[in-house]
Amino acid sequence: MIRTQEYNLNFGPQHPSTHGVFRILLTLDGERVVKAEPICGYLHRGVEKLAEARTYTQFIPYTDRLDYLAAMLQNWGYVMAVEKLMGVEVPEKAEYMRVISGELSRLASHLIAIGTYSLDIGAFTGFLLAFRERETTMDLLEELTGSRMTLSYARIGGVAADAPDGWLEKVDKFMDKMPTCIDEYDGLITGNEIFQARTREVGVLKPETAINYSISGPSLRGSGVDYDLRKAKPYGVYDRFDFDVPLGKNGDCFDRFDCRMKEMRQLVRIIKQAIQQIKEIDGPVIGKVPKVIKPPVGDAYAEIETSKGIIGYYVVSDGSPKPYRVHVRRPSFINLGYLDEMLRGYLVADVVAILGSLDIMLGEVDC
């Protein structure tokens, strides 16, 4: 009789499919995973501590660097928390600009998610096509904010600047084109039998487990749990848009992937409606905010739905111009909580598929 022995394998931190610097210590029995220990912290910069030495406005560029693929959504969550603390009213136009730029950020993030996921599985063409549209998205964001990835566009009480002339028309035109592009990804990746064979019934996440582990975003909705903050607790002007929340059935890798794909179609709808509605609104893009921001003593928590899940910012003020404490609830980090049990029993090749389907962002995991 052949005696087998378990052995350890270091997956990462410099592995391309970990999407950053993330390490999993795999205990393997042959090619089956027995145990997986996620080790993070390679990109830890102490953002929460840095906030304590910065003023409220100065912390905005640091939030970009949490989830740098969807920077606007991070900005938005933070400024919402400070606005809640101060009781500032945001002008309507600024809310619409936040929706448009935020949804464009979400598009850029989802395009990376599906593009790199197809690359993880081994389909290179899908990756290139997704990046082609991502480039256009980033060009549009660059025209609006001046930066491609770290936008720093949101400000406490509004946004940094109004849209340049003709920008909304450009976005509208791009959104007209986008559904055909998503059809292409569907044809190339989603419909591909090899892709389906690799992802269906792999890394199954049951709805009850997903809720118990506080998993959020497309990873939660892939399991069939209908919880999208934009619908469940509408913030900003999201209650004015008509859109659906795509849900999965089985909670496997394919469903999580498909949720992102369908979410892209929905965000195209949101942006088109927002552009239509913003044209009728005139006014400032930033509300009445004092020059030196000194929120009253107290604390506030605001959460929004980002591309990865629910991001929450908890800001404590002691009445000085600098926050006493800032805490970030990072969806990528919390979504990783179930990774160990999710990987058990699967093959080494499936580790890449499962990790990719969670769509983690290491800037956010390590904070």
Partner 1 sequence: MFGKGLVKGLEITWKEFWSPKTVIQYPEAQNPIPERFHGRFVLDTDKCIVCGMCANACPNKVISLKKQKVGTKQFLTNYVMNIQYCMFCGLCVETCPKDALHFSKVINMNQYFYNNIPLVLVQREAPAEQVEQEKPAAKPTPQLKADALAPTAESEVAASKASDKEGE
Which tokens is 244 given?
């659906």
Q: Is 62 in the site for partner 1 (CB under 8 A)?
A: yes
Measured CA to CA, the distance from residue 181 to residue 191 in angstroms comes to: 14
Measured CA to CA, the distance from residue 216 to residue 145 in angstroms comes to: 29
Using H for helix, E for strand and C for coil, what is the string for 108-135? Answer: HHHHHHHHHHHHHHCCHHHHHHHHHHHH
By the 8 A CB rule, do 334 and 214 touch? yes
By the 8 A CB rule, do 70 and 108 touch? yes
Measured CA to CA, the distance from residue 119 to residue 189 in angstroms comes to: 10
* Residue from the set 147, 214, 273, 277 that interacts with partner 1 by CB under 8 A: 147
Which span sits near partner 1 by CB under 8 A: 50-58, 208-216, 298-306, 342-350?
A: 50-58
Q: Is 27 in the site for partner 1 (CB under 8 A)?
A: no
* Residue from the set 156, 159, 160, 267 that interacts with partner 1 by CB under 8 A: 160
**Interaction with partner 1 in 194-233: which residues (CB under 8 A)?**
194, 196
Radius of gyration of the chain (CA): 21
Q: Is 132 in the site for partner 1 (CB under 8 A)?
A: yes
Which span sits near partner 1 by CB under 8 A: 54-62, 80-88, 229-237, 300-308?
A: 54-62
Starting from the edge strand earliest in sequence, which strands make up the sheet with 7-11, in order?
Answer: 7-11, 23-29, 32-39
Which span sits near partner 1 by CB under 8 A: 191-199, 206-214, 255-263, 330-338?
A: 191-199
Residues ≥6 apart with Cβ < 8 Å to 190: 257, 258, 261
Nearer to partner 1, 72 or 351 (CB): 72
Report the nearest approach of partner 1 to the CB of residue 64 (Å): 8
Which span sits near partner 1 by CB under 8 A: 134-142, 237-245, 248-256, 335-343?
A: 134-142
Measured CA to CA, the distance from residue 338 to residue 104 in angstroms comes to: 29
* Residue from the set 142, 169, 208, 226 that interacts with partner 1 by CB under 8 A: 142
Measured CA to CA, the distance from residue 317 to residue 272 in angstroms comes to: 38
* Residue from the set 9, 39, 53, 297 that interacts with partner 1 by CB under 8 A: 53
Nearer to partner 1, 156 or 310 (CB): 156
* Residue from the set 28, 43, 68, 150 that interacts with partner 1 by CB under 8 A: 150
Q: Is 107 in the site for partner 1 (CB under 8 A)?
A: no
Q: Is 238 in the site for partner 1 (CB under 8 A)?
A: no
Q: Is 10 in the site for partner 1 (CB under 8 A)?
A: no
3-state secondary structure at position 326 = strand
Q: Is 162 in the site for partner 1 (CB under 8 A)?
A: no
The two beta strands, 32-39 and 154-155, are unpaired
3-state secondary structure at position 217 = coil
Report the nearest approach of partner 1 to the CB of residue 93 (Å): 18
Nearer to partner 1, 139 or 208 (CB): 139
Task: Supply φ then ψ for residue 39, to 5 degrees.
Answer: -120, 115
**Interaction with partner 1 in 249-308: which residues (CB under 8 A)?**
none
List contacts with partner 1 (CB under 8 A).
53-54, 57-62, 64, 125, 129, 132, 135, 139, 142-147, 150, 152, 160-161, 164, 184, 187-189, 191-194, 196
